[in-house]
Amino acid sequence: MQPQLHHAGIEKTPIIVVDDVVDNPDALVDYAASLAPFPAAEGNHYPGLRLQLPNEPIVTHYLSAVCRTLTRLMGSAYGLRNFAVHSASFSIVTKQPSELGPQQSIPHFDSASPSFFAVLHYLSHHDGSATAFFRQVRTGFETLTPQRVGPYGQAREKDEAINGTSPGYMRGSANGYEEIGRVQGRYNRLIVYPGNLFHSGILPDDYDFSPDPRRGRLTANIFLNGER
């Protein structure tokens, strides 16, 4: 493993990057393929398929290994005393740009809680794939807190009234947001960031939106609740 710590934007939000995080990522891809087809993701944000990981030994072993890896890193980066898995799933981006809703064409956040964290494990080989992080230009917010929810919503309404929302996936600064950093997708790379940091997936130009776990942009998405 090769852990790195990056900081995004003016707020210097820590982002953990760990390469070669598991010994046999191919086994995870094979397991994901055995569970296909995945159902469509629920809610307004994820543009594709999402399957909650079943309670099986391979999953228990995998999540335990990830948590062991992150214990020291989460403490040093975020000052956490402890954390627990909130949810875990396999995900594949399948929606064409023309199929996206307005909320899927702008950066999003997972939770306004400062103790909620996203773990993204890349399990596909797609040069040009990435996860990017953003600042909302009108407010200057890079992270959302309960106190910022109201002002952020008002600013978003103003942006939409003046500029609308350009359809399609985010590609750099657009729609009232400025990109403040990105982590390139790499097979068996794991990244961790606070769920209240504005973010969006970046897709390669030649991505074909396949629902096949062996071809599509397969990731394991794990959400953690932390205790400071």
* Domain annotation covers residue 168: no
Note down pLDDT in tens along the chain; length 228 residues.
789 999 999 999 999 999 999 999 999 999 999 999 999 998 878 999 999 999 999 999 999 999 999 999 999 999 998 999 999 999 999 999 999 998 999 999 999 999 999 999 999 999 899 999 999 999 999 999 999 999 999 999 999 999 888 889 998 999 999 999 999 999 999 999 999 999 999 999 999 999 999 999 999 999 999 987
Q: pTM for the complete prediction?
A: 0.96
* Domain annotation covers residue 10: yes
Distances 67 to 26, 70, 108, 159, 200 between C-alpha atoms, Å: 20, 5, 25, 39, 24
**E runs forming strands in the chain:** 2-8, 13-19, 48-52, 82-93, 116-122, 130-136, 177-184, 189-194, 199-202, 218-227
Structural domains of the chain, count: 1
Q: What pLDDT is attached to residue 163?
A: 85
* Domain annotation covers residue 211: yes
212 alpha-carbon distance from chain centroid: 20
* Domain annotation covers residue 21: yes
Residues spanned by the domain of 9: 2-115+179-227
* Domain annotation covers residue 165: no
Q: What pLDDT is attached to residue 81?
A: 86
Q: What pLDDT is attached to residue 46?
A: 94
Q: Of 71, 94, 102, which Cα lies nearest the Cα of 84? A: 71
